[in-house]
Amino acid sequence: MLYLDGRTSGPLFLSQTGIRLDTNAIGALYNRFRKRMGEDKITHHSLRKFHRTKLESCIPSSYVKKLQGKATDAYIQPEQTGELTRAYIESYDVLRVFTKDVELEAVKQELSLYKVESDMQRLSQHGKVNELEAKLERMERALQAIYERTKPKP
């Protein structure tokens, strides 16, 4: 089974430099994600409940308890046979936040909008946005003047 970036073992969350993220860093990333999405109603608990509810629709509840680290019957050990891993992989489509109806292009477009917003914020911080807007306005006026000069006369 592949992990992230081809890894099959080790920590789940790594920084860009490959260092294991501690719980504080993961919490900070989560809070940044929430702010970016504008969703204050999404909590750790609501994500855990979403995970449990979706999984219980397709795999036994004892497996879900194992996956969420809750107490289960000592005699039920699907992780020993690989059954737990198989069931979890098969339930992947149920856990997706985006439905199959969502096109990859729509997701890419939304991500590019976030990138543009982020770039605009960075430029704005350096006072570049006003300069670029003024330059664009001058270019539009110059194009309009060229159009007026080259427009055929009736």
According to the model, what pLDDT value does residue 120 have? 67
**Using CA atoms, how far apart are residues 64 and 72, in angstroms rounded to an integer?**
10
Indicate the angle between helix axes 128-150 and 104-125, nearest 10 degrees. Answer: 110
Type of residue found at 107: V
- pLDDT by residue for the chain (154 residues), tens only, comes to 344 566 667 777 777 788 888 888 888 888 887 777 676 677 778 888 888 898 898 888 888 888 888 888 777 788 788 888 888 888 877 777 655 555 566 666 666 776 776 766 766 666 666 777 778 888 888 888 877 777 666 6
Cβ-contact 64, 56 below 8 angstroms: yes
Residues 95/53, Cβ–Cβ less than 8 Å: no
Whole-angstrom Cα distance, residue 47 to residue 26?
A: 14
Domain boundaries, the chain: 1-39, 43-97, 99-154
pTM: 0.46
For the chain, report the end-to-end CA distance as a whole number of angstroms: 73
> Which residues does 85 contact at the CB level (< 8 Å), separation at least 6?
1, 79
Two structure tokens written together for 93: 């489509």
Helix (H) or strand (E) holding 26: helix 23-37
Q: What is the DSSP letter of 9?
A: S
